[in-house]
Structure 1
Amino acid sequence: MDIYYIKEPARTLDSKDAGNKARNDVERILEMNQCHPITLYSPDNILKDQFAILADIEQMLKKLPEDKLLFIQYPLPKAYRFALSKIMQHHPTILLLHDLDEIRHGKSSLLECRQINQADLIISHNKYMTAYLAKFGIQKDKVYNLNLFDYLRKDNQHIFDHQNDKNLLCFAGHLRKSQFIYDFPQAVADKDIFLYGVKYEPQKMHTAGVFYQGAFPTEEIQEQISGKFGLLWDGPSNQSCIGNYGDYLKINNPHKVSMYLSANMPVFVWSKAAIADFIKQNQAGILIDSLAEIPAALKQLTPENYQQLVANASRLGQKAATGGFLTDALTSILQSYTTVDSFANYYLKKNLK
């Protein structure tokens, strides 16, 4: 693909930070699609002042052909965020949204969306995030929906067979912000739940049947998790996903869902999560309003129904494991933006500023 992308600093491959996995995978998928890397910064640049950083950006922009798209992962590392607008003002850009930090932390999104709107093309998580961005003036016609984050496998030969796992549920994530794990309904915990992730607080666990399995590097956890179903839930309550975490689930695609599916594991998903529509349409899981609904849902699930969920999860997982979702989005973009003439309006807009 005739797209350039900002190559980010090498990250520690054994990091237990899921954000690293998402960004590393994006770069690998861009490489798979023969996109062209261009270096904006190095790990040492964080020590530079803003003038030095701006000088680096000027040098980078000189290396970019004017008629090519520049792919940027949003948000940039903190030291460079102030310079994002300058980059977008000088070159046609695709902005892939990983997180909307303002809404994630319960703040107003006006300033963040104004900056995002400077991009010429935007890859959003899903239709709900796109509708949210539109409320702040971002034109829908320049937004492409990813639908699911890709999740590359460490070992493409690894065999996932979660239908034979003994425990019912797997939940992986940042456990400090997932306080519901200490309050599972006992009828659910009786079927055994395995927890994975950082910031587990064992002194809070008083529910039999919930077992902490440790924290694993993001490149390894997929082969470590166990459960007939993955679980998407967040916040302090087992009755619903409430507060800032619940609000954010209504517009974003959590990376953990991609991990479950890429491991051929169907999912239980909060019914009001943005990803719920995608899971329902692809019949790759079960939607629930509260965790207490899980036992009743299982009673209605026949072995044949479960096998179909596994097959559908595997189909989506295979696509996610090979970078198919981002590749689809990039292909759609290039079908609309393939020539110098495609940027005529872009340059006119920039020159009139």
Structure 2
Amino acid sequence: MIYYLPKNYKFKRINDAGSKARIDIERTMDLLGYIPTGKHKAISKNRLIHFIQTLITVVQMPMYIKKGDILILQYPVKYYRLLCFLVHLRKAEVITIIHDLECFRKKRNSVRKEIELMNMSDAIICHNPTMNKWLCDNGFKGYNGKGILVTLNVFDFLSDSQCTDKQKRWPSHSITYAGQLAPIKNKFLYEIGSYIENYTMNVYGKGFDKSIATCPEKFDIKGFMLPDKLISCAEGDFGLVWDGGDINSCDGNWGEYLKINTPHKVSLYIRCGLPIIIWRKAAMAQFVEENEIGICVDSLKDINNIYKNITKDEYVKMCDNVLRISYRLSEGWYCKTAISEASSRLKEL
């Protein structure tokens, strides 16, 4: 049997991108017939209740697991080391789906500690080929010593909402940027106005202060929208994937993380029907190029040239490819494929 550990969600974070990704994976596992080892999608408003619910979920887990079973964990997760230990004590196996690597994102772990934790798992589902290589290069072998690594490629994005036809409005001369807009991660937004020549920026989210941005007239602040609504009404020609404070490259810790990470906003833009503009050194640049769903740039200054050089036919082709990938995301195709491969490889041992 295949089981998964359900997450206990904090009420104030239920609409975050991180929660959306985890909830969608849980929904996909439900569709596959996998069994949660505890209360499904528990939501708590109180910190103490959240702690107690999480602890109960961990304590209850071994009651479900038997010899030869598989437990799927979404990482990071509290008590990860203990959970893996308990599963192996029951002669069962662990598949870990990575959402974030703490040694990059929040610097909570050293690389050595992160790999030690990953080696508690029998198989890993990681974001993309770059992360796959990083895990191998830094010593991932797996609990069983087989080093089973499966690449997800992109996060699914379940929603019944349908996007508008972007081809009919080309060119609207507008770029969409969506997400958490804290200056620490998105400082470039305050500088990009000086370099915009032939388009405007549609900004979706909370935390951006247009009044202190250069050339504020270049921004159209749309505010925060829940994913289902954003999919159905997002405006613009492209969705931008960029982090940090520099116009010419994605700098700092956020830029380094973009070199290995698969941002959830890539999936959001695809579901919105938006071709993607992404930093050429980002890990997801390869996926964008191979699937012909957008354009890779070295600098944000290059966006002006996109409107000068791209033809209507080229844009229509990108949009068609985006819709093809969007359908897969809406069906949980990437998650289903990755879990199927990981579980099959474990059964072959």
Q: TM-score range by the shorter chain?
A: 0.7 to 0.9
Give the 3 Å change call, closer, same or farther, for CA 225–88 of structure 1 in structure 2: farther
- Residue 144 (1) aligns with residue 150 (2): yes
Residue of structure 2 in register with 1:73 after alignment: 74
Q: Are residues 3 and 61 of structure 1, via their aligned partners in 2, closer, same or farther at CA, if it must alter by over 3 Å?
A: same
Report the alpha carbon displacement of residue 198 of structure 1 after superposing the two structures with TM: 2.0
**Following TM superposition, by how much is the alpha carbon of 1:199 offset from its aligned partner in structure 2, in angstroms?**
1.6
**Distance in structure 2 (CA, Å) of the matches to 1:51 and 1:61:** 17
Aligned residue for 1:220, secondary structure, equals helix
Distance 1:13 1:161, change over 3 A: farther
Question: Is 1:135 aligned to residue 134 of structure 2?
Answer: no
- 1:11: Cα distance to partner? 5.8
Asked if residue 125 in structure 1 is aligned to residue 127 in structure 2, the reply is yes
5+ long unaligned stretches in structure 2? none
Alignment of 1:1-353 (within 5 A): 2-9=1-8, 12=11, 15-39=14-38, 47=48, 57-76=58-77, 78=78, 80-81=79-80, 83-90=82-89, 91-106=92-107, 108-139=110-141, 141-155=147-161, 158-163=162-167, 164=169, 166-176=172-182, 177-188=185-196, 190-207=198-215, 208-338=217-347, 342=348
Q: Which amino acid aligns with 1:5?
A: Y
Is 1:152–1:320's contact at 8 Å kept on the other side of the alignment?
yes
Deviation track 1:274-296 (CA, whole Å, cap 9, x = no partner) reads 00001101111000000001122
Separation in 2, partners of 1:260, 1:82 = 35
Shift in Å at residue 101 of structure 1?
1.6
Per-residue Cα deviation, 1:244-265 (whole angstroms, up to 9, x for no partner)? 0110000010000011112221
Normalised to the residue count of structure 2, the TM-score between the two structures is: 0.87
Structure 1 residue runs of 5 or longer lacking an equivalent are 344-353
Flag the 1:185–1:204 CA change in 2: closer, same or farther, 3 A: closer
Question: How many angstroms apart in 2 are the aligned matches of 1:13 and 1:314?
Answer: 32
Evaluate the alpha carbon distance shift between residue 213 and residue 15 of structure 1 in structure 2; reply closer, same or farther with a 3 A threshold.
farther
1:53–1:192 Cα change, 3 Å: closer
Distance 2:248 2:12 in 1: 36
Deviations 1:142-163 (A, max 9, x none): 11000011011243xx242123
Bigger mean CA deviation after superposition, 121-130 or 63-72: 63-72
Three-state SS of the structure 1 residue aligned to 2:8 is coil
Cα drift, residue 116 of structure 1: 1.4
> What is the root-mean-square deviation in Å for CA atoms of aligned residues?
2.8
CA shift, 1:167, in A, is 4.4
TM-score by length of 1: 0.86
Give the direction of change, closer, same or farther, for the CA distance of 1:100–1:246 in structure 2 (3 Å limit): same
With 295-304 and 236-245 compared, the bigger mean Cα shift is at 295-304
- Residue type of the alignment partner of 1:119: S
Q: How many residues align?
A: 335
Question: Retained in 1: the 8 A contact 2:130–2:260?
Answer: yes
Displacement of 1:205: 1.8
Contact residue 37 and residue 57 of structure 2 kept, 8 A: no
- Give the C-alpha shift of residue 40 in structure 1: 7.2
The worse-fitting range, judged by mean Cα deviation, of 44-53 and 302-311 is 44-53
| CA–CA separation in structure 2 for the residues paired with 1:93 and 1:240 | 38
Amino acid paired to 1:180: F
